Amino acid sequence: MSNLIIAHTDADGILAARIIYLLLDKNADIHFIEWGNFGITSDAEQVIREKTPKTLFILDLGTNKTDVERVLKLKDEVSIDEVYWIDHHPPEVEPREYQRVDFKIINNPETCTAGLVYKFAQAFYGNDLNEWIERWTIIGIYGDKAEQGRLSQEILANLSNKHPYLLATRLFEKSKYVQAQLYAVYFNAPRRVAYHYGAYLSFKACEEIESFGSLTLLDSDDLLLLAQYPSVLALKYLVNEYRRVRDEVLKNVQRILDLGYILLVQISSKFDLGGIVASYIANKYRKPCIVVNYGVPLPIAKVNCRGVEGLANNIDLGQLMKILGIGGGHPLASAGAIPKNKTLEEFAREVIEALRQYFEEKRE
């Protein structure tokens, strides 16, 4: 293939990859980063070397300076013609310093990566886009909880007349949700129970949903129908499994340490549910939260951080993870990993030191 797409494993990354894939008339290889990592991993670098693409798309993976400079070096080594680095996280490099005719960083925190690739598609084709590009954009925006961003609102307003069903509200489990939010779960949940393999499954399910012609395939419980769409059937199974274990994990939080400005929580689950637990505890106690999951079947413990929307004394969790040197993300949501043999107390001391450094930098 002359095109390669490397993307994050959440709904935003998966659906951004799908949009680019459709824009390229399905003429692209896809690589979702290995579970537990963020950015351009050594495995992702190896994929680039093996595929030797002419055009490389990097989606929803941050803009770590080391990663950017690594890809610039790779570009020359394997003769990549063009690189498009599209991301919505607060940039860790100054994009203008790296912009070239053949190397573009497209960044805007006012939407998600799915929203940015939609605008990228518009730049080439205007409003005459494949309707699936539009549908995946809407679900990607809600999947990343980016619907309040200025650019997201502009995109949703542009698509509201064409896809009113996706933007309609629906009563679900006694709560009102936008329909796109409900569909977004099908692309966010699989990675929680199947890691990056879940991202590949979600991507394959997109193909089946498009061939069926409607997202209502996700609402169907007709096994005879679903048997014809095995990826969607597996997707629905993983979402049900996720819902089953989620409540069990929330009931069995092992430890909570109050570090003053932030809560540090320990869980043990083979599933990647730290983000769910962190969101629940952060909102329950109105304090930013870090969850360490020691149960994942890897030599690491997964770390997830969540803040509280609108809280006056929120900590920039993406910056905190950067200081800790273990991951990255948003001010209100970030992720990374620590060695599994590091105790919660040892990590707590590192977090306290990172907080001290964080507040010193803020004062400066």
Residue 66's pLDDT band, with cuts at 50, 70 and 90, is confident
| Percentage above 90 pLDDT, the chain | 72
Residue 37's pLDDT band, with cuts at 50, 70 and 90, is low
Give CA–CA dist 82/95, Å, rounded.
16
Distances from the Cα of 259 to the Cαs of 21, 90, 256, 268, 308, in angstroms? Answer: 45, 26, 9, 20, 16
Q: Is residue 227 part of a domain?
A: no
Question: Among 4, 11, 36, which residue's Cα sits nearest to residue 339?
Answer: 36
Statement: residue 170 has pLDDT above 90: no
- Is residue 172 within a helix (H) or strand (E), and if so which, with residue range? strand 169-172
pLDDT confidence of residue 136: 98
Statement: residue 118 has pLDDT above 90: yes
- The predicted model gives 156-178 an average pLDDT of 91
Residues 160, 16 within the same domain: yes
What residues contact 99, with CB distance under 8 A and at least 6 apart?
105
Q: Is residue 90 part of a domain?
A: yes
Statement: residue 329 has pLDDT above 80: no
| Percentage above 70 pLDDT, the chain | 98
Domain count, the chain: 2
The two three-digit tokens of residue 24, written as one number: 């390229």
pLDDT digits (tens, 9 = 90+) for 212-232: 999 999 999 999 999 999 999
The CATH number for 87's domain is 3.90.1640.30
Give CA–CA dist 190/273, Å, rounded.
11
Q: Is residue 347 part of a domain?
A: yes
Distances from the Cα of 58 to the Cαs of 103, 180, 288, 320, 342, in angstroms? Answer: 11, 25, 30, 24, 32
More confident residue, 210 or 242: 210
Residues 263, 161 within the same domain: no
pLDDT confidence of residue 120: 96
Residues 138, 193 within the same domain: yes
Q: Is residue 238 part of a domain?
A: no
Burial code (b: 16+ CB inside 10 Å, e: under 16) for 141-162 equals: bbbbbbbebebbbebbeebeee
User: Which range marks the domain in which residue 172 is found?
Assistant: 3-219
| Predicted TM-score (pTM) of this structure | 0.87
pLDDT confidence of residue 317: 92
Residues 150, 94 within the same domain: yes
